[in-house]
Amino acid sequence: MTAEIQLTQATGSCCSPSGSCHDDADARATMGGVTAVYHVTGMTCGHCEGAVSEEISGIEGVTSVKAVAATGQVTVVSAAPLTEDAVRAAVDEAGYELVGQA
């Protein structure tokens, strides 16, 4: 991520005519967002990852979610910090348990 930011700064504004970051969802998700990593128990497969990601993605302001069943880690990028209660409710809705921030 640091290299991407340095590259953007070295080549000018991300909104320059030569290459806007607004066409790249990953770039939009990480630029100016808040990243939090949570530990979720009960995920065992890709379906579990998808269920957790889908529910957390429904929280207002969330721009990116990556759940990894093997580690139980869920990385969330949002426009503003999320309340743990909101994340817990989304994880509960998916059928899993939020342990807390990793």
* Whether residue 44 is found in the same domain as residue 60: yes
Longest distance between any two alpha carbons in the chain, whole Å: 46
The predicted pLDDT at position 57 comes to 98
* Whether residue 42 is found in the same domain as residue 25: no
List pLDDT tens digits, range 72-92: 999 999 999 999 999 999 999
Please count the structural domains in the chain.
2
* Whether residue 22 is found in the same domain as residue 51: no
CB 98 within 8 A of CB 52: no
Give the range of the structural domain holding residue 7, as residue numbers without chain letter: 1-31
In a 13 Å sphere around the CA of 41, the CA atoms on its Cβ side amount to: 4
- pLDDT of 3 higher than 70: no
Q: How far apart are CA 81 and CA 94, in angstroms?
A: 21
Mean pLDDT along residues 5-18: 35
* Whether residue 67 is found in the same domain as residue 22: no
* Whether residue 53 is found in the same domain as residue 72: yes
The predicted pLDDT at position 46 comes to 97
Mean pLDDT, the chain, integer: 79
CB 101 within 8 A of CB 37: yes
* Whether residue 38 is found in the same domain as residue 23: no
Q: How does DSSP classify residue 40? A: E
